[in-house]
Structure formats: C-alpha cells, structure tokens
Copies of this chain bind each other. A is one copy, B any other.
C-alpha cells in the first residue's frame, strides 16, 4: 500500500492533507488494491456496490449500456480519478455505470461504509476529505451537465463542433489529441460512426478543421464557434 503513497498524495480526494494525516486515515478505510488488465470489467451496471473506486494506475472507461447492445461512453478516467462515489453517496446500492479497463493498472476499492462515517481516529483529516468529496461531487455533476449539452444537440455538425470546441478550449491549443478512437468518439457523442466520419470529412474539406487519426486541429476557430451559436436552420 505504501507504494501508492505518491499517487494518493496527488489525488483530489486527499488534497490539502498532510502525509501524516493521510497515513492515519488510510488504514481506517480497510481498502483493498486490485490489479487489472486490459478489458477487465471493474464493475457492471446494476451489480451490488459496497465500495467506491480510486484509480491508482492505468486507464478505465466508464460507459452506460442498454439492452440493445449500444453503449454511451461517459468518460475515460486516469490515475487519481474516483468512480462510483456518486451512486455511493446517493444511496443507491448498485453501480450506475459499467467500468471497463482500457489498459492494465491498479484500483483501490474503499468500502463506502468506512468512508462515509466519521472516522474513529483522525476526524480532522476526515473533515478535510469530506470537503474535498463535496467538490468532487459538484464537479461530476457539472461534467454531467456539460455532457447533456453535447448529446442534446440536434445536428451532427453541432455535436462535433461542441465537442471539438470544448477540447480546443481545454487544450489551449489549436492542435490536440483525443483519447478515443472513432468508434468510441461516436459512442461518446451518441451518433453512428459512419455519419460522424462523413461530417468530419465535410468539415475538413471546408477548411474548418483538420485531423489525422486521433490528432485533431482547429483550423478556423471562428467558424467553429459560429456553428454553435447560430445552430439551427
């Protein structure tokens, strides 16, 4: 467990916490480290949930499925990220989404019971953690809110523009790089891959964007944002 201290110290959940505080807090959780390899299912929609996951190393993909086999990708998480905490604190006893490993790695499962109740020994540290958790939850809700902003867009072009502009803003650079391949990006935007490819091609041809594989570049930010503002018609 001590091996992971460098990672844990940088985690949002343990921000503003001294190494000493962390050292007394951690054993309290009785958390377990689980290694995983690519393709492993870390949790499955609907299954009973008793712990929340803290990703120590590797990448995972959070997705939502319906009976039909089609999926919606919620997001990709990396080291330090938390998953399952929303459902845990909302009190539904089961995982809301499926988490699947996108690479090998390690995840720390912290029993919800241990993390939710005021800790026995280090109550001040627990206090800080709860404050951090508050912000994490708020952020998650905001991300969901933005997500809705993407999915709800009517036209393919608008969805793409919304996504690309967001990435562009976030990267602070005209050229950026998506962690998803085409199929995944399509599932992220809730569209079909061929239709997305078609529109991407059009936008490239019109000189609005350029791309090669998973490297994208916004050629004409002006026009991109125009699409978003005067969407319809």
Closest residue of B by beta carbon distance from A146: B96
- Indicate if A72 sits at the interface (CB-CB under 8 A): yes
A92 and B151 form a contact (CB under 8 A)? no
- Indicate if A64 sits at the interface (CB-CB under 8 A): yes
> Max chain B CB contacts within 10 Å: which of A138, A139, A231?
A138
Stretch at the interface among A29-37, A127-135, A214-222: A127-135
A-B residue pairs in contact (CB < 8 Å), sample of 13: A64-B149, A66-B229, A67-B228, A86-B145, A89-B137, A90-B138, A90-B139, A96-B142, A97-B145, A134-B137, A137-B141, A144-B144, A151-B152
- Interface extent on A, as a size class? 35 or more
A229 contact set on B, CB distance < 8 A = 66-67
For the A-B complex with A68-B233, A72-B152, A87-B138 known, give 13 more contacts whose Cβ atoms are closer than 8 Å: A67-B228, A67-B230, A85-B138, A86-B142, A86-B145, A88-B138, A89-B137, A90-B139, A90-B141, A130-B131, A134-B137, A137-B138, A140-B141
A96 contact set on B, CB distance < 8 A = 142, 145
Within 8 A of B (CB), among A81-131: 85-92, 96-97, 130-131
Interface flags, A193-233, vs B, CB<8A=1, else 0: 00000000000000000000000000000000000111111
Given A142-B96, A151-B152, A152-B151: A66 and B137 within 8 A (CB)?
no
- Indicate if A11 sits at the interface (CB-CB under 8 A): no
Closest residue of B by beta carbon distance from A153: B66
Interface flags, A20-53, vs B, CB<8A=1, else 0: 0000000000000000000000000000000000
Report how far A135 CA is from B112 CA in the complex, Å: 13
A135 contact set on B, CB distance < 8 A = 89-91
- Indicate if A69 sits at the interface (CB-CB under 8 A): yes
B72 and A141 form a contact (CB under 8 A)? no
Report how far A221 CA is from B161 CA in the complex, Å: 40
A90 and B151 form a contact (CB under 8 A)? no
Closest residue of B by beta carbon distance from A144: B144
A85 contact set on B, CB distance < 8 A = 138
